[in-house]
Structure 1
């Protein structure tokens, strides 16, 4: 539990990887450059978001495969892959391949539920099986089994000159223990704990009948641990301004102010609520984090970068997080 006398153990960051529709290569290269910068600054982990049919990373596994060839130490994660879009068997092959390429640095984060805008995409995503697709936790269990090396076929052996395996290949030992679940409710936290996953706690959770975000998230984290869960990482949006220009500070403050009206409310049929973004000097941000009762429950974080900033803004923010905010929280670069 990070307090002033107990240092933050692991520091990471999360990026959405936005790109221009007319020049998508530049945005993807920028994302890779940000990950490389993160390793140079000593961050423990870099995470990429997942966006389908938007102008963000639609294939995080492919992007992280590229990142494995430009980095050597930093952990690489997805936050999160919505399994409603995936065949767990095929995804298990992709994840294992990237984990092998990375030397065991991949941290896949996943979630379940029907794809967003389901009625708009189901006819192309599952044209023949949309009405019978199972979007429950069973989809995660299948992925865990496949990644863990369970049998997936009834045949193995030699056929002609080809050798067949009855489990996913390549098999990457240790990958199963590095799978995370993006949980925002007590139900999902308990399930993830019982099934031996790690927990990604973000800045969006289900209210569970309360508008106190920090206390609700703290209860969620505690429930996860009470049910046998593993590691917990928190992902709030923090924007340090220590080395920012006056123009950058004005931009950052306007960004936070523009999202402030969603704090302290619930949205949608599942009563989701958002935590406020934190902008200021690293010393100011640290004080607010130490007062956050959910932050007090974790010893690793993956701070989320704002969605729509320029590459030079991310360079400044990451540099301040690594050189100013991290040390304020007791963290030392890898």
Structure 2
């Protein structure tokens, strides 16, 4: 394992795509503009969270399809799509379609488990099959098989005037290698590695063998790579809330610091029955942030990040944060903007 930080190779950002329920178009348009800005600034990737029955993007596949037509280079991902809400066959079709439209830039991230608010939503989501639905890793395996081109039907050929395929169409050959698993437990990290996926580790992990966030995250990265066929070369992206303030106004800095302070108490001990540990939000100048990140045990072993944008900030705040990330923080971490056309 490296004793010094790896230079940052890929810089990405993550947004929830918050919107006003009375004017949802404005929020979705803001998200698309932020993705366009990310490409102009040289970011390698832009990621969308997935929210259902909330005021965040509920259909990343639709928003990313729009983004493919407004960008040409930046990679587009989901972090993450909860598969409990999805039919793997239909999702495989949607993702392959968006990947084709993007020219091979889609990076789908998934997770498993029952949908949030399961007891309240199951009668609407699965009115006849709620008790039979499988929310285990097998749901990911089904999706992977379909994306990789394994048969979805026992029939192919011509029937009347129509031609049928036995696998998902369109088929995008490179998509399977760009599939990510978003995991917060040691078992998830191992499972993702065993199944040849890439691994997204975020600002939320389970306190299983430790109550030190960085130590837990590091153990997940190492477990994933130990189980992955590519070993230390297996791709891991770290997601933390990181807010550079280099060009922020005094009022913006004050708001950012207040935001982080309000969320800090939850980082001091495991939260809830699942014993979830939260990382503190990082706020400061790029010089300060780079020093903190380069001393972070987990960050020292990765070379890709997808820094999360805070949920409740304004469009102008995101412009300032992304601009500082690309022009100051990224270079301080050894990253170079992607200017490929």
Q: What is the TM-score when the length of structure 2 is the normalising length?
A: 0.96
Residue 131 of structure 1 aligns to a residue whose secondary structure is coil
State the partner residue of 1:281.
Answer: 285
Q: Which position in structure 2 is the counterpart of 1:105?
A: 105
**Partner residue, 1:316:** 320
Counterpart selection for 1:251 from 245, 248, 255: 255
Residue by residue over 1:166-199, the C-alpha shift from the partner in whole angstroms, topping out at 9 and shown as x without a partner, is 0000000110010000011000000010000000
Kindly state the Cα deviation for residue 233 of structure 1 after the two structures are TM-superposed.
Answer: 0.1
Task: Judge conservation of contact 2:149–2:168 (CA < 8 Å) in 1.
Answer: yes
Q: Conserved in 2, the CA contact under 8 Å of 1:43 and 1:74? A: yes
Q: Contact 1:2 / 1:299 at 8 angstroms: preserved in 2?
A: no
The residue aligned with 2:180 is 180
What aligned pairs does 1:185-334 form with structure 2 within 5 A after superposition? Answer: 185-228=185-228, 230-334=234-338
> Shift of the alpha carbon at 1:2?
8.4
Partner of 1:35: 35
CA distance in 1, matches of 2:250, 2:276: 34
Q: State the shift of 1:6 in Å.
A: 4.2
CA distance in 2, matches of 1:4, 1:46: 27
* Partner SS for 1:303: strand
Give 1:209 deviation, angstroms.
3.0
1: CA distance, partners of 2:86 / 2:98 = 16
**Structure 1 residues 58 and 233, CA, compared in 2 at 3 Å: closer, same or farther?**
same
- Separation of aligned partners in 1, 2:5 and 2:300: 12
* Runs of 4+ with >3 A deviation: 1-6
Matches within 5 A, 1:42-121: 42-121=42-121
Please report how far the alpha carbon of residue 70 of structure 1 lies from its aligned counterpart in structure 2 after TM superposition: 0.2
Structure 2 partner of 1:124: 124
Separation in structure 2 between the aligned mates of residue 187 and residue 6 of structure 1, nearest angstrom: 26
Q: Deviations over 1:25-58 (max 9, x none)?
A: 0000000000000000000000000000000000
Q: Are the structure 2 counterparts of residues 268 and 246 from structure 1 closer, same or farther at C-alpha, using a change threshold of 3 Å?
A: same
Instruction: Describe the superposition over 1:97-129 as per-residue Cα deviations: whole angstroms up to 9, x where unpaired.
Output: 000000000000000000011000000100000
| Cα distance between partner residues in 1 of 2:266 and 2:5 | 34
1:3 Cα deviation after fit: 8.1
- Asked whether the equivalents of residues 52 and 58 of structure 1 are also in contact (C-alpha less than 8 Å), the reply is yes
In the alignment, structure 2 segments of 5+ residues that lack a partner are: none
Deviations 1:134-185 (A, max 9, x none): 0000000000000000001011101111110000000001100100000110
Matched residue SS, 2:307: strand
Question: What CA distance in whole angstroms lies between the structure 1 residues aligned with 2:3 and 2:325?
Answer: 17
- Distance, in Å, in 1 between the alignment partners of 2:84 and 2:300 is 33
Deviation sequence 1:257-294 (CA, Å, 0-9, x none) = 01001012111222111000000000000000011001
Query: Equivalent residue of 2:95, what SS?
Result: helix
Partner-residue secondary structure (3-state), 1:200: strand
Provide the residue aligned with 2:164 in structure 1: 164
Distance, in Å, in 1 between the alignment partners of 2:334 and 2:162 is 54
TM-score (norm 1): 0.98
Contact in 2 for aligned 1:199/1:232 (Cα 8 Å): yes
Aligned length: 334
Residue of structure 1 in register with 2:25 after alignment = 25
Q: Residues 211-252 of structure 1: CA distance to partner in whole angstroms, max 9, x if unpaired? A: 110011101100000001631000000000000000100000
Secondary structure at 1:293 match in 2: coil
- Aligned residue for 1:130, secondary structure, equals coil
